[in-house]
C-alpha cells in the first residue's frame, strides 16, 4: 500500500530531475506506476483525466518517449498532442517563459524534450514552468499544469524511472548490494546526450546499489551529477566508483547498461556554436565527436564482456547501435527484455500525470480496483 501523505505531497508536482524528489516520493511514484501497469494489463485503466490536454514539445527526435507520452495520456482519458519544438516560435526567439504561458493557458500537462545542449535543456524547462505558474497565478486559475521532463541535458527521469521499475521487477528483493555497471560504449551514429548516464548514476545510487561508471578519458559527466551520485551512495549504503576500463566495470556485475554519449569538451563547444547559430561549426563538432568515438571501437558489450559478469541483466534505453555499442548476439538475447524495459515508461508517465492532477484519495482507491 502506498503512503497517502506522500502521494498527496505529489499533487501539482512537476518532474524536472529525479534528484529534486525524495526517496519516499520516488517510491510512491513507482508504486503508482506499478498499479497502473496492473490495471492496464487487466484492461481496467480508469480514465481519470477526461477532456484534458496533454501537450508535449520535442526539440529532438524520439520514438519511445513520444509514444509513451501519447499512450499514457490516452489511457488516462486525456488528449495527447505532440509538436516538433523547431516548429514553435521558440525558433524565432520566443522565450521559454513566454512559451510556457502560452502553452499553459490551454494545456493541462506539458511534456518537454530539450536534451542536446549542455546547460540549456533543464534551464528551459524551469523557465517554461515559471511562465506557466506566473500566468495561472495572475489569471487566478487553480488549474495544475505539471511539467514533465521528457529528457534534458541533465537527466531523463521518465527513462530512469522506467529502468528502475524494470530492475525492481527483475530483482524483487531490491537493488541494495547489487552491482550495476553504467558504461560508455562506442557509437558511430551521433554524439548522444549525457542525460541517461547522469540520470542513472543519480537515481540508482539512491537505492543502495554499487554503481560503477566507466568511460574512456575525455567522456566525463557533469560535476554536480557525479557529486550527487557519490553523496547518494554514501547515504544509501551503496557505492559509486568511476573507472576508465569497461572490463573492470563488468567484472562480477549483476546489471550492465552500456551506452554512448558525446565527448565532454566537444559537448561544451556545441554550447557556444549553438548560441551563435553556427550550423557549420555544429556540423564540424559532430564530425569530430564521431572521429573521437571511433578511437574507442573496442568499448562494446559483447559475449566476452558479458562473460565477465554474474550473468548480468543487459539494459539499454534504446535505440542501441547494434554492432557498435552491443554485439548482435547480446542484443538478440536481450531483445524482449529491452522492449519490456521500454514499456515501463508509459506507466511512469501515467503515474506522473495522475499524481500531479488527481486527488490522492482517488488514487489510493486504485489499490482496491485491481
Name the site residues for ligand CP (rule: CB under 6 A).
62-65, 151, 159, 317-318
CA 11 – CA 3 distance, rounded (Å) = 13
* C-alpha cell at position 361: 484519495
Rounded CA gap, 225 and 123, in Å? 15
What are the percentages of helix, strand and coil residues in the chain, rounded to 5?
50, 15, 35
The CA distance from 315 to 302, in Å, is 13
Q: How far is the CB of 60 from ligand CP (least distance, A)?
A: 7
Query: Which C-beta is closer to ligand CP: that of 283 or that of 318?
Result: 318
- Taking the complex as a whole, the smallest distance from the CB of residue 64 to ligand CP amounts, in Å, to 4
Task: Tell me how crowded residue 34 is: count the other CB atoms within 10 A of its CB.
Answer: 18
- CA dist 203 and 100 (Å) reads 28
Shortest distance (Å) from residue 6 CB to ligand CP? 27
Q: Which is nearer to ligand CP, 67 or 88 (CB)?
A: 67
Cα(302)–Cα(198) distance, rounded to whole angstroms? 23
Indicate the residue among 6 and 313 with the shorter CB distance to ligand CP.
313
β pairing state of 255-259 and 210-214? unpaired
Shortest reach from residue 316's CB to ligand CP, in Å: 8
Choose between 136 and 194: whose C-beta lies nearer to ligand CP: 194
CA distances from 171 to 61, 183, 204, 282, 338 (A): 32, 20, 13, 42, 15
Closest CB 346 distance from ligand CP, rounded Å:
12
Please answer whether residues 344 and 37 qualify as being in contact, where contact means their C-beta atoms are separated by less than 8 angstroms: yes
Task: Report how far residue 149's alpha carbon sits from residue 18's, in angstroms, rounded to the nearest whole number.
Answer: 10
Place of cell 500531479: 356
- Residue 9 vs 62, nearer CB to ligand CP: 62
Minimum distance between the CB of residue 62 and ligand CP, rounded to whole angstroms? Answer: 3
- Between 151 and 274, whose beta carbon lies closer to ligand CP? 151
Closer residue to ligand CP (CB): 64 or 210: 64
Gap between the Cα atoms of 291 and 227, Å rounded? 29
Provide, rounded to whole angstroms, the least separation between the CB of residue 347 and ligand CP: 15
Least CB distance to ligand CP at residue 121 (A): 13
Q: Which C-beta is closer to ligand CP: that of 270 or that of 344?
A: 344
Q: How far apart are CA 275 and CA 301, in angstroms?
A: 36
Amino acid at each position: 500500500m502506498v503512503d497517502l501523505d506522500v502521494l498527496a505531497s505529489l499533487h501539482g508536482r512537476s518532474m524536472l530531475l529525479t534528484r529534486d524528489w525524495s526517496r519516499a516520493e520516488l517510491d510512491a511514484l513507482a508504486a503508482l506506476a506499478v498499479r497502473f501497469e496492473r490495471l492496464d494489463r487487466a484492461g481496467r485503466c480508469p480514465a481519470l483525466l477526461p477532456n484534458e490536454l496533454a501537450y508535449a514539445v520535442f526539440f529532438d527526435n524520439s520514438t519511445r518517449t513520444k509514444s509513451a507520452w501519447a499512450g499514457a495520456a490516452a489511457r488516462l482519458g486525456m488528449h495527447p498532442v505532440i509538436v516538433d519544438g523547431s516548429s514553435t516560435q521558440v525558433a524565432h526567439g520566443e522565450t521559454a517563459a513566454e512559451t510556457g504561458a502560452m502553452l499553459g493557458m490551454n494545456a493541462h500537462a506539458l511534456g518537454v524534450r530539450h536534451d542536446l545542449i549542455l546547460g540549456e535543456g533543464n534551464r528551459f524547462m524551469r523557465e517554461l514552468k515559471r511562465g506557466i505558474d506566473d500566468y495561472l497565478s495572475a489569471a487566478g486559475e487553480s488549474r495544475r499544469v505539471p511539467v514533465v521532463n521528457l529528457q534534458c541535458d541533465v537527466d531523463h527521469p521518465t527513462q530512469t524511472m522506467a529502468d528502475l521499475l524494470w530492475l525492481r521487477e527483475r530483482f524483487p528483493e531490491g537493488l541494495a548490494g547489487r552491482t550495476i555497471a553504467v558504461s560508455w560504449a562506442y557509437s558511430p551514429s551521433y554524439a548522444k546526450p549525457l542525460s541517461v548516464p547522469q540520470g542513472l548514476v543519480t537515481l540508482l545510487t539512491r537505492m543502495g546499489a554499487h554503481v560503477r561508471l566507466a568511460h574512456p578519458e575525455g567522456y566525463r559527466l557533469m560535476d554536480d551529477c557525479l557529486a550527487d551520485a557519490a553523496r547518494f551512495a554514501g547515504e544509501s549504503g551503496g557505492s559509486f566508483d568511476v573507472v576508465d576500463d569497461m572490463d573492470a566495470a563488468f567484472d562480477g556485475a549483476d546489471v550492465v547498461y552500456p551506452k554512448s554519449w558525446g565527448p565532454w569538451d566537444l559537448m561544451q563547444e556545441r554550447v557556444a556554436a549553438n548560441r551563435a547559430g553556427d550550423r557549420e561549426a555544429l556540423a564540424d563538432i559532430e564530425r569530430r565527436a564521431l572521429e573521437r568515438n571511433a578511437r574507442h571501437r573496442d568499448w562494446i558489450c559483447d559475449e566476452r564482456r558479458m562473460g565477465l559478469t554474474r550473468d548480468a541483466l543487459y539494459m539499454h534505453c534504446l535505440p542501441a547501435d547494434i554492432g557498435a555499442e552491443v554485439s548482435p548476439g547480446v542484443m538478440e538475447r536481450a531483445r524482449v527484455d529491452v522492449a519490456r524495459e521500454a514499456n515501463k515508461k508509459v506507466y511512469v508517465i501515467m503515474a506522473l500525470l495522475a499524481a500531479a492532477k488527481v486527488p490522492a484519495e482517488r488514487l489510493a482507491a486504485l489499490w482496491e480496483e485491481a
